[in-house]
């Protein structure tokens, strides 16, 4: 009899592929799934009874800003509590490495709270993550905006020159060689908005050589979204890279309903090149406070303000009324700050989530004082609210969009399935009770119905608190590609 470390008994397995639930025991040994067998066929001195529960692969949060949260908050409670076992960091054009400057300005401070967490090269950063022994895994993109700050300093309101492009390209090449999984861009943001399509495509060129991914917070998610999609697809083609469009949405009331244009456009483009996108299950987005975004939002909540105390969690309309000024003036007064914008149509959000190209990503911002509830709620909300209660898709398909599909698109080798030989990243949850509890009013709250979460065979979360397991890794592109070939 094989000596297993743990056997999870009597559960219903959602194996991540979308296959119908089946009754099985799951055995773990070391950091791997050792066996999946008929109920009662696998034995260990250490057993977990999963009667009435679903045993799924650990969820992969494909869109995060958790780069340095993995170092500062290594238990990663906001993600482990949701069943998340891997976070893809460095999205939207901003990453903690490679960063050559000594000053962490406003933009970089969104993801970095401690100066010592930045690194001049990716290898140094990955070593810091591993040294922190986080409870869950991280995979890392390199931000085009961060590359720009390295090459161009504060002079960001223009297209990069040829030598600057070369410097950015070389930094990306080196980072990919050291294990980063791709490049992200955020052409929507001031840091990168002046970049041309050519600039991004030329910087992204090393992606082809290393098999890196290109993720894009597109230049426009509102009136000009179709043009922005064309630009994104062109950059991916020219860089020879697979594409993930980030947090797909049609933003602003005048764009409600336009998923009927964007989704068929995705469907068509997916026949030509490898494209997918991520979605978070809410009608509100969140980022820095920008006065040009006020008009398109039905409601604006403040997530943090460095300048004025007591703003976090408040409606900007109330703040403006209190100050006796316009919302724009109130926003100017409390800058720099962050905000939540109610700017999407529920039907659009559901249509995007159910599209064949969709996977789930939270886009949670880990250091906000009053964060968007997606930081703590995304995955249980998809399982409980959208799949079970609204029946948007079956549970097996919800799990697939959080696990195997995500692992395939991001080339996370041997993750995202309950299968012998795969890493023991698992989430045991109660399908009848799983639900998010984080709200816009009270956003810091662990979900209900998540029982036990394993990452690399260690318990990252159990019974409503961190499980003590600290076996997360900085996933390395080269190591994953080698393992895929072996
Ligand atoms: Zn973004
Ligand atoms: Cu983002």
Ligand 1 center from residue 2 Cα (angstroms): 47
pLDDT in tens, 450-468: 999 999 999 999 999 999 9
First to last CA, the chain: 27
Domains annotated for the chain, with CATH where assigned, are 6-54+449-485 (2.30.40.10), 58-411 (3.20.20.140)
Strand partners, 166: none
Ligand 1 center from residue 440 Cα (angstroms): 19
**The pLDDT of residue 351 is above 70:** yes
**Whether the Cβ atoms of residue 58 and residue 427 lie closer than 8 Å to each other:** yes
Ligand 2 center from residue 65 Cα (angstroms): 6
Ligand 1 center from residue 91 Cα (angstroms): 7
Specify the DSSP element, H or E, that contains 277. strand 275-279
pLDDT in tens, 12-27: 999 999 999 999 999 9
Average pLDDT over residues 254-271: 98
Average pLDDT over residues 363-392: 97
Ligand 2 center from residue 34 Cα (angstroms): 35
Ligand 2 center from residue 220 Cα (angstroms): 14
Q: Given the structure tokens 């910087």, which residue do they identify? A: 203
Mean pLDDT over each residue of the chain, to the nearest integer: 97
Residues 6+ apart with CB under 8 A from 379: 59, 61, 82, 83, 84, 360, 362, 402, 447
∠ CA(263), CA(230), CA(170), 5° rounding?
125
Ligand 2 center from residue 404 Cα (angstroms): 21
Q: How confident is the model at residue 395 (pLDDT cuts 50, 70, 90)?
A: very high
Ligand 2 center from residue 91 Cα (angstroms): 5
Tell me what pLDDT residue 103 has: 86
Ligand 1 center from residue 248 Cα (angstroms): 9
Weakest mean pLDDT among 204-208, 264-268, 305-309? 305-309
Burial 239-259 (b: 16+ CB within 10 A, else e): bbbbbbbbbbbbbbeebbebb
Ligand 1 center from residue 246 Cα (angstroms): 6
Ligand 1 center from residue 188 Cα (angstroms): 8
Cα dihedral sign, 107-112-116-121? negative
Ligand 1 center from residue 369 Cα (angstroms): 19
Ligand 1 center from residue 392 Cα (angstroms): 25
**The pLDDT of residue 394 is above 80:** yes
Nearest ligand to residue 185 Cα: 1
Weakest mean pLDDT among 128-142, 157-171, 292-306, 350-364? 292-306
pLDDT in tens, 132-151: 999 999 999 999 999 999 99
**The pLDDT of residue 2 is above 70:** no
Ligand 1 center from residue 249 Cα (angstroms): 11
| Residues 85, 88, 94, 96, Cα dihedral to 10° | 60
In the structure, ligand 1 is a single-atom ion and the residues with CB under 5 Å from it are: 92, 217
Q: How confident is the model at residue 1 (pLDDT cuts 50, 70, 90)?
A: low
Ligand 2 center from residue 9 Cα (angstroms): 38
Nearest ligand to residue 361 Cα: 2
Nearest partner of 346 among 404, 299, 283, judged by Cα: 283
**Whether the Cβ atoms of residue 67 and residue 139 lie closer than 8 Å to each other:** no
pLDDT in tens, 22-80: 999 999 999 999 999 999 999 999 999 999 999 999 999 999 999 999 999 999 999 99
Q: Strand 275-279 vs strand 284-288: parallel, antiparallel, or unpaired?
A: unpaired
Nearest ligand to residue 363 Cα: 2
Tell me what pLDDT residue 102 has: 83
Nearest partner of 455 among 477, 427, 414, 474, judged by Cα: 427
Which SS3 state, helix, strand or coil, does residue 109 take? helix
Which SS3 state, helix, strand or coil, does residue 113 take? coil
In the structure, ligand 2 is a single-atom ion and the residues with CB under 5 Å from it are: 91-92, 363
Nearest ligand to residue 64 Cα: 2
The secondary structure of the chain in percent helix, strand, coil, rounded to multiples of 5, reads 35, 20, 45
Full DSSP string of 120-132: SSHHHHHHHHHHT
Strand partners, 244: 215, 276
pTM for the structure as a whole: 0.98
């Amino acid at each position: 009899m094989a000596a297993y470390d743990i056997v999870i008994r009597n559960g219903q397995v959602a194996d991540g592929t979308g296959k119908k639930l089946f009754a099985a025991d799951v055995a773990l040994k070391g950091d791997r799934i050792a066996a999946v067998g008929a109920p009662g066929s696998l034995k260990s001195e250490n057993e977990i009874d999963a009667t009435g529960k679903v045993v799924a692969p650990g969820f992969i949060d494909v869109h995060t800003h958790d780069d340095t949260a993995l170092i500062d908050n290594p238990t990663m409670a906001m993600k482990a509590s949701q069943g998340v076992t891997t976070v893809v960091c460095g999205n939207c054009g901003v990453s903690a490495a490679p960063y050559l400057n000594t000053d962490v300005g406003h933009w970089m401070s969104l993801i970095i709270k401690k100066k010592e967490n930045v690194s001049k090269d990716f290898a140094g950063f990955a070593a810091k993550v591993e040294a922190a022994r986080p409870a869950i895994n991280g995979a890392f993109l390199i931000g085009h905006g961060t590359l720009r700050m390295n090459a161009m300093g504060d002079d960001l309101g223009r297209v990069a020159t040829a030598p600057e492009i070369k410097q950015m390209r070389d930094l990306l090449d080196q980072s990919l060689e050291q294990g980063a999984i791709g490049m992200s861009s955020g052409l929507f943001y001031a840091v990168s908005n002046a970049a041309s399509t050519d600039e991004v495509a030329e910087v992204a060129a090393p992606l082809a050589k290393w098999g890196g991914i290109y993720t894009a917070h597109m230049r426009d998610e509102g009136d000009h979204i179709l043009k922005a999609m064309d630009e994104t697809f062109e950059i991916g083609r020219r860089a020879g890279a697979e594409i993930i469009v980030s947090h797909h949405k049609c933003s602003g009331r005048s764009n409600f309903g336009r998923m009927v244009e964007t989704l068929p456009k995705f469907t068509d483009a997916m026949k030509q090149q490898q494209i997918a996108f991520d979605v978070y299950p809410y009608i509100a987005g969140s980022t820095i406070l920008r006065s040009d975004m006020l008009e398109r939002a039905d409601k604006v909540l403040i997530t943090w303000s460095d300048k004025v105390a007591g703003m976090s969690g408040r409606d900007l309309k109330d703040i403006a009324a209190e100050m006796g000024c316009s919302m724009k003036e109130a926003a100017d007064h409390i800058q720099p700050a962050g905000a939540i914008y109610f700017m999407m149509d529920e039907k659009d959000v559901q249509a995007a989530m159910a599209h064949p190209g969709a996977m789930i990503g939270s886009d949670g911002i880990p250091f906000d004082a009053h964060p968007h509830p997606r930081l703590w709620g995304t995955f249980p909300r998809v399982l409980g609210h959208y799949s079970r209660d609204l029946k948007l898709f079956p549970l097996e398909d919800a799990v697939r969009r959080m696990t195997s599909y995500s692992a395939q698109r991001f080339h996370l080798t041997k993750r995202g399935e309950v299968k012998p030989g795969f890493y023991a990243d698992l989430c045991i949850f109660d399908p009848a009770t799983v639900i998010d509890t984080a709200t816009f009013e009270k956003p810091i709250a662990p979900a209900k119905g998540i029982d036990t979460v394993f990452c690399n065979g260690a318990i990252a979360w159990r019974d409503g608190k961190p499980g003590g397991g600290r076996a997360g890794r900085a996933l390395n592109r080269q190591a994953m590609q080698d393992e895929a070939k072996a």
